[in-house]
A and B are shown apart, each in its own frame.
Chain A
Amino acid sequence: MATPESTVDTDWTILFVCWLLVAASTLGSLFFSEVMELPPCSLCWMQRIFMFPLAIILLFALFPFDPGIVRYALPLAAIGGLVALYHLLLQVGFIPESAAPCREGVSCSEAQLALFGFVSIPMMSLLVFASVTGLLWSLKRRRSS
C-alpha cells in the first residue's frame, strides 16, 4: 500500500464512472428493446455483446478495487466503439448501403429513433464506448506512471 490514498480514490472513481456509464447504457438499450419494443439490428447486437459484460466485470472490479481490470475491459470498450463508429457511418450514409452486412430482417442503416431530432442509438453507443475507452486508457496511464 505504497500508493497515496487519494490516488487510489481517484482511480476508483474513474472506474466507478465507467461502470455508471456502461450500466446506464445497458439499461437504456434494454429500455429500447423491451419497453419500446424496437427490434435490435445485427450491429446493435454486436455492440450489446461488448457493452453488457462491461456492466458486470467493472462492478466486480470495484469491490475490492482491482485496476487490473483495465487489461480486460479496454479491448471490449475499444472494439465496441469501432462497431458503433461503423454503425454510425452506415446510418449517416458515409458507408454505402450495399456494404451493409444486414439487409435482411431489421435494417441497420435506417434510424429507428432520434432523440431531440438527431441523437440516434449508434451515436449514444459511440459516445459511451469512446468515453469509457478514454477513461480506462487514462487509468492505465496513471497506474503505469
Chain B
Amino acid sequence: MVAKEETVFVKRSTIVLVGAAGLILVFALASFLYTRQRASEIEELAAAADSPLERPHSQTLGSADAKVVLVEFFDPACETCRVFDPYVKAMLAEHPGRVRLVLRYAPFHQGSDTMVKILEAAALQGRFRATLQVMFDTQPEWASHHRPQPEKIWEFLPRAGVDLERIRRDMEEPRIREILEQDVADLRLLGVRKTPQFFVNGQPLTRFGREELRRMLAAEVAKQYPR
C-alpha cells in the first residue's frame, strides 16, 4: 500500500512538473520572440528617413558629428530620470566627442506637459539645460506623488536665470505645442511606456539599469570607432 501511494505521488508530481516546465518554457520563448520582434520593428523605424527617434526640434547635447546617438525619452516629473541624469552626463564624458545625447519628452505624469512647455520656452532663451537642472533639483517639491503641485515650479525658475515673463508668453506658442505633440506621437510609435527609455543608435535598452546602459553605450562606441 505504501509503495503504491509512493508510485502515485511520483506519477502525479511528474505530471505537475512537466506541466509547470512546459508553461514556463512557453512563457520564456514567447518573451524572447516578442522582444526580438519589437527590437527589429524599432530598428526599421529608426533606419527610415523620418526617424521617430530624433526630430529637427529635439534638444541635443554633444558633438553633432558623433557616430553614436543616445536617445533618451524622459519625463521632468520622473524620479528615475532625475537619478539617471548625472549618470548619463558621466557616460557622455567617458566618450568625448563620440556620443550625442538626444532628449525627447515623455510627459506621463500629471502636469508634465506644462514642464515640457516651460523647458521649450526656456530653450528659446538658451537656458534649456539650466532649467532642466532646476526642475530635477526641485522635483521633490513640485512633483510629490501624493500631492503634485506643478505650479510650484515658478518659485524655483528664477534660479535658472530665465525671463519668467517671456516664458509665460512663449510656452503657449503653437510651435511648442507641436513639439510636445510630435514627441508624444513618436513615443507611442516606438512603444515607450516607461521613463527613462534609452535607445543607442536605434537599439532599445531592453534590460534596464545603469551598468546595462553603460555597457551598451561602450559596445556601440567600440563598434563605431574601431582602433
Residues on A facing B (Cβ under 8 Å):
12, 16, 19-20, 23-24, 27, 30-31, 35-37, 39, 59, 62-63, 65
Contact = CB atoms under 8 A, between A and B. Distances in A.
Interface stretch (B15-23, B174-182, B210-218): B15-23
B23 A16 contact: no
Interface of B (DSSP majority class): helix
Interface stretch (B27-35, B67-75, B119-127, B133-141): B27-35
B19 A16 contact: yes
Contacts of A30: 27
Given A35-B34, A35-B35, A63-B9, A24 B23 contact: yes
> Would you list the 9 A-B pairs with minimal beta carbon distance, nearest first?
A37-B193, A27-B27, A35-B31, A20-B19, A27-B23, A23-B23, A35-B34, A24-B23, A62-B16
Q: How would you classify the secondary structure of chain A's contact residues: helix, strand, loop or mixed?
A: helix
Interface residues of B, number: 18
Contacts of B26: 27
A12 B8 CA distance: 11
Contacts of B194: 37
Nearest to A23: B23
Contacts of B20: 23
Given A35-B31, A37-B191, A63 B19 contact: no
Contacts of A62: 12, 16
Interface in B170-193: 191, 193
Nearest to B9: A63
Contacts of A19: 16, 19
Contacts of A23: 19-20, 23
Contact of A59 (B16, B24, B35): B16
Task: Give the one of A12, A35, A37, A62 with max B CB within 10 A.
Answer: A35
A4 to B, nearest CB: 13
A63 B34 contact: no
A132 B103 CA distance: 49
Contacts of A63: 9, 12-13, 16
Contacts of B193: 37, 39
A108 B191 CA distance: 20
Contacts of B34: 31, 35-36
Interface string B20-52: 100110110011001100000000000000000
Contacts of B23: 20, 23-24, 27
Contacts of B31: 31, 35
Contacts of A39: 193
B14 to A, nearest CB: 12
A87 B32 CA distance: 30
Given A37-B194, A63-B9, A16 B15 contact: yes
8 contacts: A12-B12, A27-B24, A27-B26, A31-B31, A35-B35, A37-B191, A37-B193, A65-B12
B199 to A, nearest CB: 16
Contacts of A31: 27, 30-31, 34
Nearest to A35: B31
A67 to B, nearest CB: 14
A128 B12 CA distance: 23
